Amino acid sequence: VGRAVTKAVIPAAGLGTRFLPATKAVPKELIPVVDVPSIQYVVQEAVQAGLDDVLIVTGRHKGAIEDHFDRQYELEETLARDPAKAADLDRVRAAELLAQIHYVRQGDPRGLGDAVGRARRHVGDEAFAVLLADDFVDPADPLLPTMLRVHAARGGCVLALAEVAPDDVRLYGCAAVAATDDEGVVRVTGLVEKPSPEEAPSNLVLIGRYVLDPAIFAALEHTPPGRGGEVQLTDAVARLVDAEEAGGPVWGVVYRGRRYDVGDRAGYLRAVVQLACERDDVGPEFRQWLRGFVAEQSVAGG
Ligand code: G1P
């Protein structure tokens, strides 16, 4: 049903207030998870799913993101002169060679929906994916390929959902759903951005991966500012839920793999520890240290 998706949009204009003071001068998307900036992981995720045309929506004070994905001649030349630095050079180049990366700026940070709306000219009349750099999905258990398959088979929009504890629903967009004949796929029948416990239709929440029909752009134009006075992507997708409207239906893929909210300090720390443990280079030594540290903490009763 759906045409092949080739474009990914990564909003990166947010202020990163949850990570101050680190984000005072450094874009939050460049805060490293071990030694790779979070935005590089999501660009890798898009590319691995076959989306190598990437649009990053940046804003003021975000120029370092462009530098990160650009050549760095002085550094590269210095590294190239020393054969012992070959692996370092590869790591520097990896970010530059990843994808065809384009940029557009969001002048006023008026919300996620507004940021996605800035992609309209670049995306045109094609379905596209949106990936939020705050949401980290385990690369060993990819989610986007499944969403793209559902889109190809069923058309409309496809949202990534995950079950969270009822107390955490208020931090996310939340979906009302109905079962389909496919166990991992649900039909989204309603959406509420950051609901109070009474308003929450379920404990299935949006986890920052979307495959969207281009009808979302018209929907965004008609979406008034919502929660926090910002134009919410959730509200615009909610307008497509009605099957009669172009752009629908809206499907949900329920993700049961590991994920972290790296825009949250506790989630960030969990991601760093887990990824460090799994790395071939720093992993063995770090795991050994961590076992000792945890044992010490338990003895201390912490
Ligand atoms: C945004 C979306 C929300 C979604 C969340 C996922 O919120 O508005 O619907 O559940 O990302 O991380 P934010 O976390 O940017 O406030």
Report how far ligand 1's centroid is from the alpha carbon of 207 (Å). Answer: 7
Asked if residue 189 lies in contact with residue 124, where contact means CB atoms within 8 angstroms, the answer is no
Task: For residue 232, give the ligand 1 atom closest to its CA.
Answer: 8
Residue 88 host element (H or E): helix 86-97
Return phi, psi of residue 40, to 5°.
Answer: -70, -35
- 213-247: pLDDT as tens digits: 999 999 999 999 999 999 999 999 999 997 556 88
Q: In angstroms, rounded to a whole number, what is the distance separating the alpha carbons of residues 243 and 239?
A: 10
**Sign of torsion, CA 40 67 114 211?**
negative
Q: In angstroms, rounded to a whole number, what is the distance separating the alpha carbons of residues 33 and 41?
A: 9
- 85-127: pLDDT as tens digits: 999 999 899 888 888 899 999 988 889 999 999 999 999 999 9
pLDDT for residue 302:
57
CB neighbour list of residue 24: distance below 8 Å, 6 or more residues apart: none
Considering the entire predicted model, what is its pTM? Answer: 0.94
Task: Out of 116, 172, 235, 265, give the residue to mutate to test ligand 1, the one with the largest number of ligand atoms within 8 Å of its CB.
Answer: 172
**CA nearest neighbour of 206 among 179, 235, 182:** 235
Q: In angstroms, rounded to a whole number, what is the distance separating the alpha carbons of residues 195 and 232?
A: 13
Report how far ligand 1's centroid is from the alpha carbon of 37 (Å). Answer: 19
What token pair was written down for 120?
A: 């309209």
Report how far ligand 1's centroid is from the alpha carbon of 131 (Å). Answer: 11
Name the residue with tokens 């398959």. Answer: 149
Strand, coil or helix: 188 = strand
